[in-house]
Structure 1
C-alpha cells in the first residue's frame, strides 16, 4: 500500500469536503437573505398595489404623514441626537435644522403636484400623459444624513404612489429605524398601511442590500460610490449620485465679506457632512490676500507648511480618509493632528494652500471635514482652469460655486462656467451646501441627492426629485397629418453646400 498516496488522497478529500461545506453554508446564507428580502418586498407589493389606486388625496396624505414624522420638533430632536450619537458625524443643531428645512422645502415642491392619473393634455399633438407609480423603491441611504435622506426619498416615493424599502448604512441604522417607526405611527393615523414604508433588518449587510436592489422595481442610491456602482450593476433601473468635491471661485468683483461669510457657513454646516460643502476655494489674485483676511475674520485658520503636513498625515492613511477626522469639528481635527495651539484658538474651519491636483495632492479632493483648500488664480479664466483640473481628479458633474458682483454685467461669467466646466449646477453668490440641494431663495428642487450627469457617471443631472419616482404613460390620438417638404427642413443646408 502506498501510504504517502493514501494520506494525500485523504487530505484532498478533507479539503474538498471543507470547500463543499463552506459552499453549502454560503448557499444557505444567500438563500436566507433572498427569502427575508422577498418577504419584505412581498408585503410592500401588496400594500403598494392598493395604494396606487387610492387616488391623489391618499398619496398626498401619505407624503404629508411621512414629512410630519420627521418635522415635528420633538421627534426631530430625537432623530438629530441619535444620528450624531450613533454615527459620530456632524452636530445635533445643524441636523435638526436640516431635517426640518429640507423636508419643508420638499413639501413646497410637491404642493399641488398631480402624480397619479391624467397630468397633461396636448390637444394640438393628440397626446395625453398619465402618471403611474414605479412600484417598490429600494432607497439606499448614507450615514452622513441618516434621517434627512431616507425621509426625502420616502416622501417622494409615497407622493408618487410607491412603496419604499430603505437600506440604511450600518451606522445610520438606529436613526432610520426610529424614523420608520415615527412614519408608521403617522401612516396609521391616516388609515394607510405601514407596509408602504419598510427597512432592511439589522445587521445591515452588503448581501441584503444587493438582494433588495435586485428584487425592487427602482433603486435610488445616495452615499458611497461603491453603493452607486452596485446599484447600477444590480440589473434594476437605478438613479445614483456622483462624487462630491465642490470648488468655489471668488472673483475680483465679489463682495468679499459676503462671500467669506457664505463660504464659512457652507464649510462648517453639520461639520461638512454634505457633498455640497466647498472643499476648495479659488481666489483671483487681485483679491487674494483680502479674501484670506475675510475668511480668517469668519473663523478660518490658515496653516503653515509644517502644520499642513501634520494635518495631511492625520487625515489620510494609506490614501484613504481617516474616520477620526470625518465630519468632526475643526478644533477636534486640529487636536488629533497634534496642532494644539490651533485647537485652543477655537477655529471654525482650517485652511491650507495648494497648487497641485490628484492623488499626490490629497487636499485637492473631497475631505468631508471643515478643511478648506485655497488656490490662487491669476484671473477668472485661470480660476476656471484650476476648477477644471480639480474636477479631472474628483467631483466632475456635481457643481461649482461663483462669487461675483451683483452687477448684471457679471452674469455672463456664471453662464460661461455652465458652458465649459463639467458641472450640472452653477451656484451664484450663495452658501453652496445650503443652495445646491434647493433652498427657499433659489429655484432648485429640494433634495439631498444630486445627479452629476455623464461627467459623474450618472444617468441624470438634476436634483433627485419626484419626477424620478414616476412612470409616464402617453396616449396618442390621431391628428391631421402634417408632412413637411424636404426643402423646408434642409433649405439652409442646401443654400450653404448645395444638393
Structure 2
C-alpha cells in the first residue's frame, strides 16, 4: 500500500466514525452515553483482559512492568468512572432563571487521539471513555510499538459493544502500522485532537488547524524541607519514582533537599531503596552514551537498569532507584532533565529559599507548567511555591505520580494527560478530563435589564483619580 492509499484509509475510518457519531448524537440519551462509557471501561478493567493488555504493552514496547500496568489500568479507569458517574453530558445540563440562559450539552464530533507508547492501553481507554460519555466518536493513532495494545483494546471494547448493541465504528484506530503521515492526516480531519506524548506531536497538533488538547513536557522536581517527616517522604518518593519503571511524566526527576536534613534524608532514602550515587560523570556517560537516552535503561526494572549502568557492585542488592548527586542545571547537565528511568538527580541547597530558586532553574530548563512536589509540614510553603513557580500543580506530601493524575485521596480529576498552561505551551492548565470533550449551546432569553449607574462602577476610582 502506497502513501496515498494510507491516507485514504485514514479518511475512510474518520468518515465511518463521523457517520456513527451523528447517529449516536441524534439517537442519544444520557443512558446510552453512560452505557457505552461503562462498556469501554469494563473492556480494560475485566481482570483477565487487564492482565493481557499489561503483558502485551510491556512485551511490545519494552517499557514499564506488568504488575504496575495492571494497577494503572484498573485504578485510573475506576477513578475516571467515579468522576463521570454523576456528570450530565446529554440534553439540558443547566437552566439559570436569573440569567435567562439554558445550556445544552453538545458533542465535539470525531476525536482524534494520539497515543504514547508509555501507556498504550490506559491512556487510550481514558480518552475513549471521556469521548463516549460526551457523545463523541474517537479514532486512535498509536505509536508504532503501541499498535498491538490498541488493536487488542479495541477488540475488547467492540466485544462489549456487541453485548449492548452499540456501533463499533464509534471507537476505531488508524489502520496498519503507525506513521507520522497518517497521524498528520488524522490531526487535520478530526473535530478535536487529544495529544499525549512527544512535544513534536504536540506542536504538530497545535499547527494542524484543528482545536487541540495537548500536554507539556514533564520533569518533576520535588522539594524536601527541614520540617517534613523524612521517612514518610522517602517512602512516598520511592513508591512514585519506581512505579511502572518511571514511565509516567509525573515521576520525580529531581530531588531538592535542604542542607539541614540532607544527610538524614539520604539515610531515609537508602532505607526505602534509594541508593546515593556520587559519580555523576559515570552515570551520565552510561545514561547518555551517544547524546540520547540509553534504551537499555529507559523504563527498565531496577536490576536491568543497574546492570546497564555498570553499578552492580556499587549499590546495595535491594536498590530500587538511584539518586545521583549533582549541582548543574541546563543543556550541559542532562541529569537536570527528564530521564524516563529509575534515576533521579539529587540537589543539596542551603534552605527553603534556595530550594525554590533551584526548582525554578530546573523548570526553566525543562518541565515548566507541569508540576512540582513538596514534602513539608509548613502549610505556607506550598502556597509560596504556587505563587513563585511556573507550575500548574503543587503536590503536597504525596507520592507524586499517583497524585498528579488524580487519586482517591485528593481532588484532582483522574487523567493520564496533564495540561501545563502557557508555561508548558498548552491551551489548558488542568488535567484533561470529561469537560474538555464537551461543548454547549446556550439559549439566551430576555431578562429585566441589569444596568449600573456610572457612580456604581467608577465612584471609588473617581475618589482617587478624579473625573
TM range (shorter): over 0.9
Q: Which of 291, 296, 320 is the aligned partner of 1:319? A: 291
Deviations 1:285-330 (A, max 9, x none): 111111111011101111122xx32221121144322222110123
Distance 1:470 1:319 in 2: 42
Say whether the 8 Å CA contact 1:248–1:401 is kept in structure 2: yes
Distance 2:178 2:7 in 1: 14
| RMSD (CA atoms) | 1.2
Q: Indicate how the Cα distance of structure 1 residues 344 and 381 shifts in structure 2: closer, same or farther if over 3 A, else same.
A: closer
CA displacement at 1:30 relative to structure 2: 4.4
Q: Which residue of 2 aligns with 1:256?
A: 230
Q: Say which SS state the counterpart of residue 359 (structure 1) adopts.
A: coil
Matches within 5 A, 1:270-289: 270-289=244-263
TM-score, reference length from structure 1:
0.92
1:375 aligns with 2:347: yes
CA displacement at 1:446 relative to structure 2: 0.1
Distance 1:383 1:337 in 2: 29
Q: Which residue of 2 aligns with 1:483?
A: 451
Q: Which residue of 2 aligns with 1:338?
A: 310
Structure 2 unmatched ranges of 5 or more: none
CA displacement at 1:344 relative to structure 2: 6.9
TM-score, reference length from structure 2:
0.98
Deviations 1:266-287 (A, max 9, x none): 1000000000000011111111
Q: Which of 212, 218, 231 is the aligned partner of 2:205? A: 231
Q: Which of 54, 62, 66 is the aligned partner of 2:36? A: 62
Q: Which of 39, 43, 51 is the aligned partner of 2:12? A: 39
Say whether the 8 Å CA contact 1:331–1:343 is kept in structure 2: no
Deviations 1:346-401 (A, max 9, x none): 41001111111011110000001011111112111111111000000000000010
Q: Which of 348, 371, 377 is the aligned partner of 1:399? A: 371
Q: Which of 147, 154, 178 is the aligned partner of 1:180? A: 154
Say whether the 8 Å CA contact 2:10–2:175 is kept in structure 1: no
Distance 2:303 2:345 in 1: 17
Deviations 1:228-265 (A, max 9, x none): 11111111110110000001111111011111000000
Distance 1:110 1:89 in 2: 30
Distance 2:358 2:352 in 1: 10
Q: Say which SS state the counterpart of residue 292 (structure 1) adopts.
A: helix
Matches within 5 A, 1:3-402: 29-53=2-26, 54-305=28-279, 308-342=280-314, 345-402=317-374
Q: Which of 412, 421, 426 is the aligned partner of 1:444? A: 412
Q: Which residue of 1 aligns with 2:385?
A: 417
Distance 2:387 2:363 in 1: 15
Distance 1:412 1:351 in 2: 28
Structure 1 unmatched ranges of 5 or more: 1-27
CA displacement at 1:32 relative to structure 2: 1.8
Q: Say which SS state the counterpart of residue 119 (structure 1) adopts.
A: strand
Q: Say which SS state the counterpart of residue 283 (structure 1) adopts.
A: strand
Q: Indicate how the Cα distance of structure 1 residues 181 and 342 shifts in structure 2: closer, same or farther if over 3 A, else same.
A: farther
Say whether the 8 Å CA contact 1:334–1:342 is kept in structure 2: no
Distance 2:151 2:54 in 1: 13
Distance 2:278 2:359 in 1: 23
Say whether the 8 Å CA contact 1:63–1:156 is kept in structure 2: yes
Distance 1:415 1:283 in 2: 18
CA displacement at 1:343 relative to structure 2: 6.3
1:435 aligns with 2:403: yes
Deviations 1:404-458 (A, max 9, x none): 11xxxx2121111111111111111100000000000000000000000000000
Distance 2:240 2:339 in 1: 14
Distance 1:194 1:371 in 2: 42
CA displacement at 1:338 relative to structure 2: 1.8
Deviations 1:2-57 (A, max 9, x none): xxxxxxxxxxxxxxxxxxxxxxxxxx944323311111011101111111232110
Distance 1:124 1:29 in 2: 59
Question: Which stretch shifts more, 313-322 or 359-368?
Answer: 313-322
Number of residues of Structure 1 aligned to a counterpart in Structure 2: 466
Distance 1:493 1:285 in 2: 49
Distance 2:88 2:311 in 1: 55
Q: Which residue of 2 aligns with 1:495?
A: 463
Distance 2:372 2:70 in 1: 26
